[in-house]
Amino acid sequence: MTVKEQLLAVCQNYASKRIASYRDEIETIKESIENNDKSNDEDDDSGNGKLFNDLEKNAQHLTEALKTLDTLKLINPKTNHTSVVLGSIVKTNASNFFISTSIGAIELEGTTYFGISLLSPIGQLLKNKVVGDSIEFNGNKHTIVAIK
């Protein structure tokens, strides 16, 4: 398995775990709402208000996680790139990036890669850059030395 395939698998696993977690949380909240409805003979549903808010938040997070997984499915790990696009591994003089989803640091074979989204601030700076180009982010200069 190539480095890019391994990085993609880590990102897909991360997104899949988030999806499962949000789905579990949604089911738990739905059960709580049903139990509150059954045990509440009065017209007082103040307890359900917070549960409905939590349900809505988790549904939004689930939608975002599903979109993340869909975005990751667009990455072909066998493709090498000449400019920074979705699916690129970008090596700079300071850090290594995998343009995929905002996942943070990924340790792989003794090397640290940062999973970042093209929509993130640094992703926007790196977008469409080529080897030899430089960006400045948080006071640090990054010069691109390789793109895969």
- Count of structural domains, the chain: 2
Mean pLDDT of the chain: 93
105, 136: one domain:
yes
Domain that holds residue 62: 3-73
CA 143 to chain centre: 24
Task: Please state the φ and ψ torsions of residue 126, each to the nearest 5 degrees.
Answer: -80, -25
Tokens of 85: 């696009």
125, 67: one domain:
no
Residue 78 lies in a domain: no
8, 68: one domain:
yes
- The pTM of this model reads 0.88
The three-state (H, E, C) secondary structure of 41-95, written as one string: CCCCCHHHHHHHHHHHHHHHHHHHHHHHHHHHHCCCCCCCCCECCCCCEEEECCC
Q: What is the pLDDT of residues 14-29, one digit of tens each?
A: 999 999 999 999 999 9
Last residue of a domain, one of 73, 97, 132: 73
Residue 23 lies in a domain: yes
Q: What is the pLDDT of residues 83-122, one digit of tens each?
A: 999 999 999 999 999 999 999 999 999 999 999 999 999 9
Per-residue model confidence (pLDDT) at position 68: 95
Other C-beta atoms within 10 Å of 41: how many? Answer: 6
69, 106: one domain:
no
Per-residue model confidence (pLDDT) at position 34: 87
Q: What is the pLDDT of residues 19-70, one digit of tens each?
A: 999 999 999 999 998 888 776 655 555 678 899 999 999 999 999 999 999 9
68, 102: one domain:
no
